[in-house]
Chains A and B, each alone.
Chain A
Amino acid sequence: MSAKLFIAQRLSAFVLAFAVAIHLATILYAVRGGLTAAEVLGRTRGNGIFLAIYVVFVIAVAVHAPIGLRNVLREWTAWRGRSLDVALALFALLLLALGLRAAFAVYAV
């Protein structure tokens, strides 16, 4: 792992600590009295703060997870070099695309 990846992993972990806490707290708070899909969408649609938080969350995941997975693969398999880096860059893009798609789906009207 290079110094840059290490720093990216630490910084994204820092962001995730907050994002995950907000995520879980919001879920617990929102479903206290039972909740329907329509009610959820009613709150998230057009909510800029909601969108901003989740975009940051998704970006942090897309940075953090592939770096960790790369370390695991390097330790447990013989996979090294460029093909590994390309594969994990693609994995990062996939996480980013899926995550952003989900966030926009509940934001857009």
Chain B
Amino acid sequence: MIQRQNDKPLRVEVWRGTANGHFQRFDVPRRENQTVLDVVTEIQRAQDATLSYRFACRVGMCGSCAMVVNGRPRWTCRTRVAAVVGDGDALKLEPLRNFTVVKDLAVDMVAFFDKWRDAKGYFESGPQPAEDFAVVPPASPQRQAANEGIECIGCGVCYSACDVVAWDKDYLGPSALNRAWTLVNDVRDQAQAARMQAVSQGSGCLACHTHMSCTNFCPKHIAPTYAIAGLKRAMMRRALGGEA
């Protein structure tokens, strides 16, 4: 990569340790089109091989590279340094908030994905799966609603941004609820009653404060807040119709 000669190096503060730890300072040369993930990789390859972090695709598909960058949760492989530091040269890298830190910038995603399961965020074909292909018109309202949330890459950025997750560790969180909403709108799914039950319990969709932090930070421009509002409406309809 081309090094930009005239620029001062980036001053990078990187979290080291687990829940207890400290920031370690690295100086990293600035380069053309440098991403935050490039910076972390350069530190790990050239300065400190013990630095732990996670990535896979480097193109915004796998959802494994998210970190808190200068105080905000971001996907680091698609976040350019220039867009974050502005005119300055300071970069502060922390592990995602609301997750257990494994080491340095790597967090444990288990609780996060367990909540996808708890929200029944998976397709249920039922005891007797359909024999033929289901025809789902692309323009149908349900298909459109599912489309809005279907591109989630499970990066955890929204979960890191949500204050309700910080307050209530049982809160299912924006990502799992968004996934559940896409399935509520899947006309082939056979577990709707159980799913609505799962997302309507105490720390489900009703716990959302509509802060919209999740929607603000989601790198895929998904709006979990609206998905959650959809779940609340669906839950109300069921409760008033005596189904839940």
Interface positions of A (Cβ within 8 A of B): 1-4, 6-7, 10, 74-76
Contacts and interface: CB of A to CB of B under 8 A. Distances in A.
| Most chain A CB within a 10 A radius of its CB, from B164, B201, B206 | B206
23 contacts: A1-B202, A1-B206, A2-B201, A2-B202, A2-B206, A3-B206, A3-B235, A3-B244, A4-B239, A6-B206, A6-B232, A6-B235, A6-B236, A6-B239, A7-B236, A7-B239, A10-B236, A74-B168, A74-B202, A75-B164, A75-B167, A75-B168, A76-B167
Contact of A7 (B167, B202, B207, B240): B240
B177 to A, nearest CB: 15
B238 interface: yes
A76 to B, nearest CB: 7
Contacts, number: 30
Contacts of B168: 74-75
Interface residues of B, number: 15
A3 B236 contact: yes
A57 B238 CA distance: 28
Given A6-B232, A74-B168, A1 B207 contact: yes
Report the 7 A-B pairs with minimum CB-CB distance, sorted nearest first: A3-B239, A1-B206, A75-B167, A6-B206, A3-B200, A3-B235, A3-B244
A39 B167 CA distance: 50
Interface string B96-120: 0000000000000000000000000
Interface string B185-210: 00000000000000011100011000
Interface in B196-244: 200-202, 206-207, 232, 235-236, 238-240, 244
Interface string B163-176: 01001100000000
A15 B189 CA distance: 38
A47 B122 CA distance: 59
A4 to B, nearest CB: 7
